[in-house]
Chain A
């Protein structure tokens, strides 16, 4: 197994996913299976290969730094599970 139970727990916490003990056991097996399968890439020597960063040669488009959008707080908050007076409401963070 390339991934053990503790690693699954650590990764799930990094990904902010609550998982049950049952899921842990299943994921340990599934993630190991996938990682073992992708390990075949080790056959390739890529020490002198540049990573691909774009599909077609093009330089990133730039635009003038000015405001083109905004003043739509109502739109932005429209789908929020909890909002109050143009703020998103979240559980208390600072005691």
Chain B
């Protein structure tokens, strides 16, 4: 009965694909959503490739999945993935539907790289049993959905099959706590010159020993709870990395990955620590899949980080920069603020990480704003901050609490008017910070900023 139901669901889902194409809705998860509705355990029956890699975690899972897919495709694999769909059960089902025949057998693909939403694990892992589960990190995310990272760690531990090999971030003790009885390897980044020992972030979720609740001491700390810790009372300590990024040199764009005491050279394709983590995560996974360092390094050197997260261009006399800072996510905000403050040059900022979906019918839960390190924006290089959108007053208050001088802050609810309030001083870097929810609007506002930047440049030339 189950198999018949599966086939019916599969055929209906397959039939929906041309229908969606005709109606120009072919990018949606509708086929998977329909299949799961008709057959709740659809994922149990659908054919799977020989090897399955699941990528999960709070941050970086899209980047890691995309990089992994790019490298594997460059190595000649046909990769089944949900790159163009969602990372919940419907998106993953859609990916399988698009890559199987009418009997549900997988076509051509020999490996799957699936980005899996952590909270959706109980609906996916009972049926899709990954050979490898890559866990990038576990941080606070949307408080409304994810509560706190220990809750997510618990969901993962309860859901991940006992046979899956874990690829874990050694520098993240919350991630390390997941599925403790599973086979595992660790990746990490060696001590950096910028590391500290005392946490400077508001969010610091591993202050006490998970075993004895004693105070943890950090040999070094990168940000938040990321670092190398040890409990002086019971001896509990961070695990050693099997794949350790070392000699990270942003200026020379190089690093090495140490494995079994031997260093293997890599070119950096990023100038952020966060993306170095993404790189070493990908390297660790590809090593587990059997690729040698030289082949991985060669493929990675031709990979880029997704354009939606960060991009910049010179427009007139300023540099315009799009910087994603996911809404309702304090950690994403903190990382983006830290990154911006640390970059050279004078900066003007437009903050519009509002949750647009909540604007009219609900009201965004603003707790995350008070967990995010707006203190990084209290920096002499940041000369103007324009707060926009429904929550602009919350941003203003939070910035004041962070010590940002009042004269630097402007509060303009309409996003387009807010863009017009930016100075566009020649030579400045002008940032727009937006979330996934405000992406489409942010792109329109950004286009307006481009017009304004050109206009202001011309006006300055006339004045001169």
A binds B: no
